[in-house]
Amino acid sequence: MSETRDLLIEIGTEELPPKALFNLALAFERGICDGLEKAGLPASNVQRFATPRRLAVRVDQLPLRQADRRLERRGPALSAAFGPDGHPTKAAEGFARSCGANSVAELQRQETDKGAWLVHVSTEPGAATAELIPAIVESALAGLPIPKRMRWGDRDDQFVRPVHWVVLLFGDAVIPATIMGVQAGRETSGHRFHHPDPIRVTSPADYARQLAADAKVIVGFDERRDVIRAQAESMALQLNGIAVIKPELLDEVTSLVEWPVALAGNFEQRFLDVPAEALISTMQDNQRYFPVVDTHGKLLPHFITITNLESRDPAQVRAGNERVIRPRFSDAEFFWNQDRKRPLAERQEALKHVVFQQRLGTLADKSNRVAALARFIAGYSDSNPDWAERAARLAKCDLLTQMVQEFPELQGIMGRYCALHDQEATEVAQAQEEQYLPRFAGDRLPSSATGRTLALADRLDTLIGIFAIGQPPSGAKDPFALRRAALGVLRILIEGQIDLDLLAALECGAANFEPTLRANQAVETVFDFMMERLRGYYLDQGVRADTFEAVLECRPTRPLDFDRRVRAVSAFRELPEAASLSAANKRIRNILKKIEAVLPFQVRPDLLIEEAEQALAGRLVESSSEATPLMEKGLYSEALSRLATLREPVDAFFDQVLVMAEDPALRDNRIALLNELSCLFLRVADFSRLQD
């Protein structure tokens, strides 16, 4: 076994962007690993480290050098390398000299099924690992996802932040190199305040231990994150509460500190009269605090902050944080008190002065359109139509409140608070927030009927309008988030079990726009766009593409009905009869495509002369009578299980009956029989589209 050593690479910088640190660390590790792999240097274990002031990677048991490479160079064919007398030709001698061989005799012969040649074989010694590392590091740094690089001092080097030190240790030896204009060594820096003096790293294996024990730096990102979580949870327990730890905030806080120390702070009880979401938003987004709630999720007058040092006077640090949060909470309290002085409904008139989109009018225009569409949808969603319309007319009013102007992320949420304060119906108030659900893939759906109705109407209005003015998504550009809106509509309809005719809803919505916009012409385009989103919805769930295509061919316009068909076809494919019946449907479709004459409307029993066709006709009548009522109720799985019994008579028919008989009457009657069979299956999906 070849000798190995551990490798440590550390790039010390000014404070790195906290929201980018984790991804930078991942990319740096990946770049080092890719470079080692390309160099043929297998690494048994790789560990990444990241703090606000460093990116580091440790590689365990790295070989001291590359493996030797066997080089093989083919020369002239033997027939051209030697003359009739057996002596080497000038071509052979020239090849030997070019290879550095003293004579042709030093060359080898290689025979293959395509001939025989002279070959020169040599061994290229592997390069020393220490010689390769600097270039690998430079390449990894150059490949980091940094949108805007910076220069510092009079250097030409560019990086996300100025580089102050570089550690390159291979075993206990320093790799001599200059990275980003800095000479590599073995000295790193500890905590900026607790240990500002340089630290001499003894070995890669001791790196993390030395910094934690001697320099107050926890270099492992994951380890530091776990420490912060544990401290915050423990501190919250001492406050008889639970810390609200949002993963994104936890990562950001982890990226801001090297030696985390949790401290609890308090704020006045009176601020709890302000909507909790505004206070939480302030704590999380502005101050990077962890809020504290009780076991019922109610906000408590405490917060937890993570400092980057062990203070000799924690009380002073706590007081400083409390002083910072107080004016922000006071502002939120003032805005909330001001907003409650006017009911939401009084802001409807002001919506006439806020443009939604230049060609689509104001927010008042949109509210009117959405209100009309919501009343239509309410008939299908078990929603109170008066509540649906009322919710739609209030839906954009909270955008004009001071709270939303200060906290834009609270739109909808503040609408709910204001509507409740105005004593609107509970569902009307709840719909103010739920109109924005789902906000992203996998997000929760509206829970109230009025909320679902408003969410559908608002999205459909936007889809119709933006398509009508000719601004659909293109490539990766989707400024109006129409893809997300379309998927949201489909999820609400399918997962919310709302049996709405999507095409009819789009036509209703289009009728609410100004006639000059010709929104009705965009309806089919919007429907097709939404069907493409539906395709992705099913593919993400593992539904086969041809299953989706088979259902789409029948063009169901009710997404809930579409879903029932997809589920039924997927289940049908698992039946032993599925392959045979799918093949029969393909055969029938191919036959019908070739028929130009008008088929008879009904099968004539008197023309069924073969036993197999009589059996099929009889079984078809029975299966149709059983399956049709089930299909009308949307019970497609049960219907297809009845149709599966047609396998034997269908197979017997194709085995024993000549469809294209010479007698035109018999031929047309048999084609009509097959057409009835095809049409029965087409009431669910086009099974001829299914692949084996």
HSE-CB for 242 with a 13 A CA cutoff: 9
Q: Of 669, 668, 670, 639, which Cα lies nearest the Cα of 653? A: 670
Query: Picking from 100-104, 162-166, 274-278, 314-318, which range would have the lowest pLDDT averaged per residue?
Result: 100-104
* Separation between Cα atoms, residue 160 and residue 145, nearest integer Å: 9
Contacts of 197 by beta carbon, 8 Å cutoff, 6+ apart: 190
Please report the DSSP string for 352-410 in residue order.
GGSEEETTTEEHHHHHHHHHHHHHHHHTTTT--HHHHHHHHHHTTGGGGSHHHHH-GGG
Report the pLDDT value the prediction gives residue 279, as an integer from 0 to 100. 97
How do residues 651-685 score in pLDDT, each as one tens digit?
Answer: 898 888 888 888 888 888 888 888 888 888 999 99
Question: Average pLDDT for residues 380-392, to the nearest whole number?
Answer: 95
599: pLDDT confidence band, cut at 50, 70 and 90? low
Q: In this predicted model, which residue has the larger pLDDT, 415 or 606?
A: 415
- Contact between 668 and 592 (Cβ < 8 Å): no
> Please, what is the average pLDDT of the chain?
92
| pLDDT for residue 596 | 62
| pLDDT band at residue 597 under the 50/70/90 scheme | low
* Cα torsion 436, 441, 446, 452: sign: positive
Identify which has the larger pLDDT, 44 or 22: 22
pLDDT class of 446 with cuts at 50, 70, 90: very high
- Distance CA(412)–CA(290), nearest Å, equals 23
ω into 84 cis (within 30 of 0): no
Domain ranges of the chain: 4-66+128-215, 69-124, 221-339, 345-542, 577-689
Confidence of residue 147 (pLDDT cuts 50, 70, 90): confident
Which range of 70-84, 137-151, 506-520 scores highest in mean pLDDT? It is 506-520
Interval 342-368 mean pLDDT = 95
Residues 305-322 have a mean pLDDT of 94
Percentage of the residues of the chain whose pLDDT score is greater than 70 = 99
Q: Does domain 577-689 have CATH number 3.40.50.300?
A: no
Least confident of 33-37, 39-43, 512-516: 39-43
Bigger pLDDT: 143 or 103?
A: 143
Taking residues 618-634, report their average pLDDT.
92
Nearest to 186 by CA among 210, 203, 162: 203
Which pLDDT score is estimated for 553?
93
250-261 in b/e form (b: 16+ CB < 10 A) is bbbbbbbbbbbb
pLDDT band at 70 (very low <50, low <70, confident <90, very high): confident
pLDDT for position 604: 86
**CA 589 → CA 129, 584, 599, 687, distances in Å?**
66, 9, 14, 10
**Residues 147-166: what's their mean pLDDT?**
86
For 208-277, the three-class secondary structure string (H helix, E strand, C coil) is HHHHHHHHCCCCCHHHHHHHHHHHHHHHHHHCCCEECCCHHHHHHHHCCCCCCEEEEEECCHHHHHCCHH
Banded pLDDT at 119 (limits 50, 70, 90): confident
When mean pLDDT is compared across 101-105, 268-272, 460-464, the lowest value belongs to 101-105
Do residues 456 and 506 touch, judged by C-beta distance below 8 A?
Answer: no
**pLDDT > 80? residue 48:** yes
Model pLDDT, residue 600 = 60
| Tokens linked to 685 | 């999906």
Is pLDDT at 410 greater than 60 in this prediction? yes
pLDDT at 271 over 60: yes
pLDDT category of residue 1 using cuts at 50, 70 and 90: very low
Q: 488-502, 514-528, 641-655: which range is least confident on average? A: 641-655
Produce one character per residue of 110-136: b if its CB has 16 or more CB atoms within 10 Å, e if not.
eeeeeeebbbbeeeeebeebbebbbeb
Q: Name the fold adopted by 345-542.
A: Hypothetical protein af1432 (1.10.3210)
532 has a pLDDT exceeding 80: yes
Q: Confidence class of residue 108 from pLDDT cuts 50, 70 and 90? A: confident
Instruction: With cut-offs at 50, 70 and 90, classify the pLDDT of residue 518.
Output: very high
Give the mean model confidence (pLDDT) for residues 69-82.
79
Q: Judge whether 158 and 152 are in contact, CB under 8 Å.
A: no
The secondary element (H helix, E strand) that includes residue 167 is strand 163-170
Pairing of strands 261-266, 108-112: unpaired
The CATH number of 4-66+128-215 is which of 3.30.70, 1.10.3470, 3.40.1630, 2.60.40? 3.30.70
Q: How far is CA 177 from CA 9, 39, 183, 387, in A?
A: 12, 18, 6, 72
pLDDT, position 495? 96
